């Protein structure tokens, strides 16, 4: 029933209508236009001055948050020491290469068999353009970056229950979904169904926009022809010579497009944290960890398994097992402590903090995630399918296949991300043996790439819930837990402050670790100076 009033729609109503008519991708685009989307709040490196001479700060964990905390604190004049559980620095910033070993809880061990130069990033693997904190320190520490291809219009979309279970090209599906949606909206304008929602001028502009956005013909229809084929591709591509005329392609059936659910992946690329341009370090994500390590290597002691963190009005005492020397029990003391140990591990240690801080540490579970790195004898996705970077999506457990954004046109073996799972699928894969995971990933990948088994060489899986030093991929806050515990978790608890992606609103991203560390050291510095 038409609205009885003629007041212009509110911003909320307009967004709702756009979302209803054009899908979540268009809704997010409209939100961005109206100024609701924003990047992270990095404002530059902190300017910490005036540290009291001889003041010692102990940093627990040599991930990015820990190393950055140490870097900035030392610049401010503090005496800094870092204790790290692993035999390497970098934390979840890691790349696996041929010869590396992956050991899981439960005893499963994998030896990575990749050819020289090949790698997989089991943790972070891409950097959004607006993660300016991380990008700033990459530049400052000499970490070379290159573009990461997130969206590839020639990649595949696959749903087991649509299009006969066959994968379809992203460009074909996106063109058809956009076209059919634009046609429906254009018809609604023609039939005066939107008279209550917009002024005559707005309707005229919208009608014109739909023709352009949806590749509609002069009659406002999305049909087979040159206009739609210039979006979705031709059945026979344009050629040269006497028989070079292209043959237009036929759109998929509208009903099949709309019921497939594959438009979810179109919306995925419109999310702020998935928009172009994205970056990756040249040579593997661990180049960032190595760049940070170069700044503070002399401060790091590896193989230190922290068992207790106690504090008093005078300072902090940390007890740890020196795993490089038979697990000998040792203690070290400092005036303050920056603790970057993941909450999943910290919650199981003897930590002397306030009841509120203890409750906050206990309140945040960690997500399970599994990644599959598969090496193939050749880059068949480039040679056979003309896919250069980007991601193909599927409704199967593996969720997606991501193609390397480097080494284009090179000969010999190459590695792709053959599965990236969260939630139930991740727990299912984590419960398998490494060999079972590979078999499942290959079987499901065959639905998109029939070449899989013939071209497969070797692979490795990384199940974050089975990693002893993190027991999960990243912190998973709920709205309620943030409301109850977040400020407490981020505050300075006497002489201890926490840092890491878990102490940010950018969880699961390296930027969260960066911004959390900068906030933590700034708060700690004020505390040390007696200003707070």
> Residues with Cβ < 8 Å from 400, sequence gap 6 or more?
391, 392, 393, 394, 417, 419, 420
Question: What is the distance between the alpha carbons of residues 251 and 174, in angstroms, rounded to a whole number?
Answer: 11
263: in domain: no
pLDDT of residue 158: 98
For position 39, what pLDDT does the model report? 60
Residues 356 and 378 in one domain: no
Strands 56-60 and 79-83: parallel
- Of 417, 416, 383, the C-alpha closest to 399 is 417
CA distance 158 to 170: 9
At residue 151, the 3 state secondary structure works out as coil
Report the relative pairing of strands 414-422 and 278-281 from DSSP bridges.
Answer: unpaired
Is 159 a domain residue? no
Q: What is the CATH number of the domain that holds 407?
A: 3.90.660.10
Residue 290 in domain: no
Instruction: Indicate whether 15 and 86 sit together in one domain.
Output: no
> Do 383 and 453 belong together in one domain?
yes
Residue 398: asked if its preceding bond is cis (omega within 30°), the reply is no
- For 433-452, what is the mean pLDDT? 98
For tokens 């003897």, the residue is 350
pLDDT exceeds cutoff 60 at 147: yes
- Distance in angstroms (rounded) separating the CA atoms of residues 150 and 420: 14
Could you identify the residue written with the tokens 């904190």? 133
**In this structure, what CATH number is given to the domain that contains residue 355?**
3.50.50.60
Question: pLDDT grade, residue 38 (50/70/90)?
Answer: very low
Q: What is the pLDDT of residue 531?
A: 62
Q: What DSSP string runs through 220-251? A: S---SSHHHHHHH--SB---SSTT---BPPPP
Shared-domain flag, residues 458 and 372: yes
Q: 372 and 357: one domain?
A: no
Instruction: Give the pLDDT of residue 197.
Output: 83
Residue partners of 348: CB distance under 8 A and separation at least 6:
none
- Per residue in 40-94, pLDDT (tens digit) is 789 899 999 999 999 999 999 999 999 999 999 999 999 999 999 999 999 999 9
Is position 336 within any domain?
yes
Q: 């070379």: which residue's tokens? A: 144
447: pLDDT confidence band, cut at 50, 70 and 90? very high
Distance CA 157, CA 448 (A): 8
34 to 27, 29, 209: CA distances (angstroms): 11, 9, 18
Q: Is pLDDT above 80 for 3?
A: no
CB count in 10 Å sphere of residue 109: 9
Tell me, what's the pLDDT at 532? 53
Q: Does 411 map to a domain?
A: yes
Between 35 and 156, the higher pLDDT residue: 156
Q: Examine the pLDDT at 320 and tell me if it is beyond 80.
A: yes
Q: In this structure, are 100 and 227 located in the same domain?
A: no
Question: Is residue 168 a part of any domain in this protein?
Answer: no
Segment 182-202 shows an average pLDDT of: 89
pLDDT in tens, 414-423: 999 999 999 9
Degrees, nearest 5: CA angle 105-110-115:
150
Q: Supply the pLDDT for residue 198.
A: 84
* 408 φ, ψ (degrees, to nearest 5): -55, 140
Answer yes or no: do 382 and 459 share one domain. yes
- What span, in angstroms and rounded, lies between the C-alpha atoms of 435 and 321? 33
Cβ-based neighbour number of residue 425 at 10 Å:
19
400: β partners: 393
Same domain as 483, residue 453 = no
DSSP of 160-184, one letter per residue?
A: TTSGGG--EEHHHHHHHHHHHHHHH
Torsion of the alpha carbons at 401, 423, 63 and 72, rounded to the nearest 10: 100
Residue with tokens 């991708």: 25
Q: Is the pLDDT of residue 115 over 90?
A: yes
- pLDDT over 80 at 13, yes or no: no
- 21 pLDDT exceeds 80? no
Q: What is the pLDDT of residue 31?
A: 37
- Residue 407 in any domain: the answer is yes
Written as one string, the DSSP assignment of 63-115 is SHHHHHHHHHHHHTT-EEEEE-SSSSS-TT---EETT-EEE-TTS-EEE--PP
Residues 260-309: tens digit of each pLDDT: 999 999 999 999 999 999 999 999 999 999 999 999 999 999 999 999 99
The proportion of the chain whose per-residue pLDDT surpasses 70, expressed as a percent, equals: 92
Q: Is the pLDDT of residue 522 over 50?
A: yes
In the three-class reduction of DSSP (H, G, I as helix; E, B as strand; rest coil), residue 345 is classed as helix
Alpha-carbon distance 517 to 504, whole Å? 9
Q: Are residues 131 and 67 in the same domain?
A: no
Average pLDDT, the chain: 92
- Specify whether 20 is located in the same domain as 69: no
Number of helices (H), then strands (E), belonging to the chain: the values are 17, 23
How far from 380 is each of 119, 403, 455, CA to CA, in Å? 17, 11, 8
pLDDT, greater one: 247 or 1: 247
Q: What share of the chain is helix, strand, coil (3-state, %, to 5)?
A: 35, 20, 40
In a domain, 266, yes or no: no
pLDDT at 184 over 60: yes
The mean pLDDT of 121-137, rounded to a whole number, is: 97
Coil vs helix vs strand at 315: coil
Q: Which DSSP symbol is given to 116?
A: T
Residue with tokens 């190595």: 290
Round to whole Å and give the CA distance between 99 and 5. Answer: 71
Number of separate domains in the chain: 4
212 lies in the same domain as 336: no
**Residues 242-253: pLDDT tens digits?**
999 999 999 999
Could you give the CA distance from residue 159 to residue 169 in angstroms, rounded to a whole number?
12
Q: Are residues 307 and 374 in the same domain?
A: no
**pLDDT at residue 130 tops 80:** yes
State the Cα–Cα distance between residues 214 and 220, nearest whole angstrom: 9
State residue 391's pLDDT score. Answer: 98
pLDDT, position 25:
40
Asked if 49 contacts 71 with a C-beta cutoff of 8 angstroms, the reply is: no
CA distance 162 to 256: 7
User: Can you give the pLDDT at residue 193?
Assistant: 85
Domain that includes residue 127, residue range? 96-154+277-284+367-466
């Amino acid at each position: 029933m038409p609205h009885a009033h003629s007041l212009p729609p509110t911003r909320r109503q307009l967004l709702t209508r756009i979302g209803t008519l054009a899908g979540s991708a268009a809704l997010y685009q409209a939100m961005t236009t109206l100024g609701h989307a924003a990047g992270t709040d990095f404002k530059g490196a902190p300017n910490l001055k005036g540290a009291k001479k001889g003041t010692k700060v102990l940093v627990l964990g040599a991930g990015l948050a820990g190393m950055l905390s140490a870097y900035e604190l030392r610049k401010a004049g503090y005496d800094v020491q870092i204790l790290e559980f692993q035999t390497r620095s970098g934390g979840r910033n890691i790349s696996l290469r041929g010869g590396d070993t992956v050991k899981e809880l439960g005893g499963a061990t994998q030896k990575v068999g990749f050819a020289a130069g090949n790698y997989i990033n089991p943790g972070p693997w891409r950097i959004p353009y607006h993660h300016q904190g991380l990008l700033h320190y990459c530049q400052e520490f000499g970490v070379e970056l290159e573009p990461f291809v997130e969206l590839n219009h020639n990649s595949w979309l696959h749903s087991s229950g649509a299009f006969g279970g066959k994968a379809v090209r992203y460009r074909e599906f996106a063109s058809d979904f956009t076209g059919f949606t634009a046609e429906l909206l254009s018809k609604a304008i023609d039939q005066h169904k939107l008279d209550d929602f917009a002024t005559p001028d707005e309707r005229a502009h919208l009608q014109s926009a739909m023709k352009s956005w949806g590749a509609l013909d002069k009659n406002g229809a999305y049909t087979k022809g040159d206009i739609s084929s210039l979006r979705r591709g031709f059945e026979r591509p344009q050629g040269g010579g006497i028989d070079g005329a292209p043959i237009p392609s036929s759109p998929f059936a509208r009903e099949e497009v709309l019921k497939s659910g594959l438009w979810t992946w179109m919306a995925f690329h419109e999310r702020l944290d998935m928009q172009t341009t994205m970056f990756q370090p040249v040579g593997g994500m661990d180049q960032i960890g190595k760049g940070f390590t170069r700044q503070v290597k002399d401060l790091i002691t590896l193989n230190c398994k922290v068992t207790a963190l106690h504090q008093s009005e005078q300072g902090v005492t940390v007890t740890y097992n020196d795993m490089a020397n038979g697990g000998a029990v040792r203690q070290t003391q400092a005036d303050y402590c920056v603790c970057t140990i993941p909450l999943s591990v910290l919650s199981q240690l003897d930590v002397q903090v306030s009841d509120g801080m203890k409750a906050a540490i206990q309140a945040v579970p960690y997500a399970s995630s599994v990644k599959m790195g598969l090496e193939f004898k050749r880059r068949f996705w480039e040679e056979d399918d003309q896919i250069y970077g980007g991601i193909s999506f599927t409704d199967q457990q593996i969720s997606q296949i991501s193609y390397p954004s480097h080494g284009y046109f090179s000969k010999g073996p190459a590695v792709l991300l053959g599965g990236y799972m969260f939630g139930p699928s991740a727990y299912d894969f984590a419960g398998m043996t490494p060999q079972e995971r590979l078999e499942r990933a290959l079987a499901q990948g065959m639905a998109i790439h029939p070449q899989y088994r013939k071209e497969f060489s070797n692979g490795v899986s990384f199940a974050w819930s089975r990693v002893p030093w993190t027991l999960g991929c990243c912190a998973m806050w709920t709205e309620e837990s943030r409301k109850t515990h977040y400020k407490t978790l981020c505050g300075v608890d006497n002489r201890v402050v926490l840092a890491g992606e878990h102490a940010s609103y950018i969880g699961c991203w390296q930027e969260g670790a960066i911004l959390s560390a900068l906030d933590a050291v700034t708060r700690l510095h004020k505390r040390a100076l007696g200003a707070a």
